[in-house]
């Protein structure tokens, strides 16, 4: 009898059908089912779930689930839904995703450093005015979170001669990157940066970590980019700092509630660039291949993929 693998998604997710077709191709030896297709005995036989999106109720329906493969890098929702259960979580680790994020970070850093956003505002007001441009080697960029995405982004910026510092949890020695740790380290890195790029996971210890007090430490005329999760940053404080001239521009790709509320004041602020959670769009082909390889390895070789630390939250 073929082993059951379930693919969990929410019906409003436009990518689900395509994902499902890729998984069907890559998991031919398995009986791949959607949640709705599962009969009671199949729910009981299912040990592995591949998750695009899920509900807590769906996850609780599998009495023998051992691990889930997320097709996303950020797994804070899964951690919350699996709170108190023994089920392990494998997150997506995909070079293609890191490469996409690194290119997006570089593009927006240049947008700020070359004053592209500011020239657009000038154009809207028919203003012909040269804005002073800082050299790359004089531009301090702080990367908050030097993991899969942060490290690739930092290296891409280093290739472009920017000055890089980074903030992480555990000690590391990375060539040409000045490291900072702990609460004092966060204060220090924020004080020195011309551009802050947030690439932290959302966890108990990072929720609202970029608070009003931290934002107030940022250099006058600096810029802030959040490509991680909305709940890490106090956007009210970001808006306030923009309006009082302390921060010159913010690029926000992620929000506490997505889509961003139509009535949000962030939309109309010309010094804020709003993106609809697109800084690193998942490549469905590579993500489904990596996820399928993990499932195949588990069943064919008895090898688990690496699991996140649920206590740390990433
Ligand atoms: P990751 O590999 O898990 O790296 C996380 C980094 O953050 C690590 O360097 C870690 O430090 C650091 N960190 C975690 N908690 C910390 C704390 N309390 N204090 C200091 N540093 C801390 O994650 P990733 O793959 O780079 O992804 C980061 C996040 O990006 C994801 O969780 C997701 O939310 C977001 N994301 C967004 C998009 C998008 O399109 N907007 C796409 C993909 C992912 P250590 O190295 O010391 O462990």
Q: Is the peptide bond before 100 cis (omega within 30 degrees of 0)?
A: no
Q: What are the helix (H) ranges across 61-147?
A: 76-81, 95-113, 116-124
Tell me, in angstroms, the distance from the centre of ligand 1 to residue 123's CA. Answer: 37
User: According to the model, what pLDDT value does residue 11 have?
Assistant: 86
Query: What is the distance between the alpha carbons of residues 157 and 109, in angstroms, rounded to a whole number?
Result: 9
Look up tokens 């697109």; give the residue: 278
Equal CATH topology for 4-94+282-301 and 95-274: yes
Question: What is the domain class of 95-274 according to CATH?
Answer: alpha beta
Give residue limits of the domains in the chain.
4-94+282-301, 95-274
Nearest to 67 by CA among 83, 92, 50: 50
Q: Which of 231, 272, 232 has the alpha carbon at shortest distance from 252?
A: 272
The pTM of the full predicted model, rounded to 2 decimals, is: 0.98
Q: Which CATH number fits domain 4-94+282-301: 3.40.1190.20, 3.40.50.300, 3.40.50.2300, 3.40.50.720?
A: 3.40.50.720
In this structure, the residues whose C-beta lies within 6 A of any atom of ligand 1 are: 73-74, 145-150, 167-170, 199-203, 205-206, 227-229, 253-254, 277, 279-280, 314
| 150 CA from centroid of ligand 1 (Å) | 7
- In this prediction, residue 12 carries a pLDDT of 87
Work out the angle between the directed axes of helices 284-301 and 16-26 (0-180°, nearest 10): 40
CA distances from 232 to 61, 82, 198, 225, 267 (A): 31, 21, 9, 12, 19
Probe target for ligand 1 pocket from 93, 150, 200, 205, with the most ligand atoms within 8 Å of CB: 200
Predicted confidence pLDDT, tens digits, the chain (314 residues): 999 999 999 988 889 999 999 999 999 999 999 999 999 999 999 999 999 999 999 999 999 999 999 999 999 999 999 999 999 999 999 999 999 999 999 999 999 999 999 999 999 999 999 999 999 999 999 999 999 999 999 999 999 999 999 999 999 999 999 999 999 999 999 999 999 999 999 999 999 999 999 999 999 999 999 999 999 999 999 999 999 999 999 999 999 999 999 999 999 999 999 999 999 999 999 999 999 999 999 999 999 999 999 999 99
């Amino acid at each position: 009898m073929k082993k059951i693998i379930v693919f969990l998604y929410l019906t409003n997710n436009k990518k689900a059908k395509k994902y499902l077709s890729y998984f069907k191709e890559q998991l031919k030896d398995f009986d791949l089912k959607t949640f709705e297709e599962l009969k009671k005995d199949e729910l009981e036989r299912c040990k592995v779930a591949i998750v695009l999106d899920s509900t807590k109720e769906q996850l609780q329906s599998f009495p023998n689930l051992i691990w889930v493969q997320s097709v996303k890098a950020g797994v804070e929702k899964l951690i919350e839904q699996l709170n108190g259960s023994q089920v392990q979580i494998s997150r997506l680790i995909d070079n293609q995703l890191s490469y996409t994020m690194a290119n997006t970070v570089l593009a927006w850093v240049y947008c700020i450093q070359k004053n592209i956003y500011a020239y657009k505002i000038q154009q809207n007001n028919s203003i012909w005015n040269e804005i002073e441009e800082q050299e790359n080697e004089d531009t301090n960029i702080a990367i908050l979170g030097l993991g899969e995405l942060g490290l690739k982004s930092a290296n891409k910026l280093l290739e472009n001669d920017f000055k890089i510092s980074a903030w992480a949890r555990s000690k590391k020695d990375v060539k040409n990157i000045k490291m900072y740790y702990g609460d004092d380290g966060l204060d220090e890195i924020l004080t020195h940066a011309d551009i802050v790029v947030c690439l932290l996971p959302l966890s108990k210890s990072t929720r609202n970590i970029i608070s009003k007090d931290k934002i107030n430490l940022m250099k006058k005329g600096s810029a802030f980019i959040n490509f991680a999760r909305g709940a890490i940053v106090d956007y009210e404080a970001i808006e306030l700092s923009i309006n009082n001239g302390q921060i010159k521009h913010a690029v926000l790709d992620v929000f506490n509630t997505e889509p961003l509320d139509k009535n949000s004041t962030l939309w109309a602020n010309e010094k804020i660039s709003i993106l609809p959670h697109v800084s690193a769009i998942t490549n469905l082909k590579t993500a489904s291949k990596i996820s399928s390889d993990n499932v195949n390895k588990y069943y064919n070789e008895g090898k688990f993929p690496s699991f996140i630390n649920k206590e740390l939250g990433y």
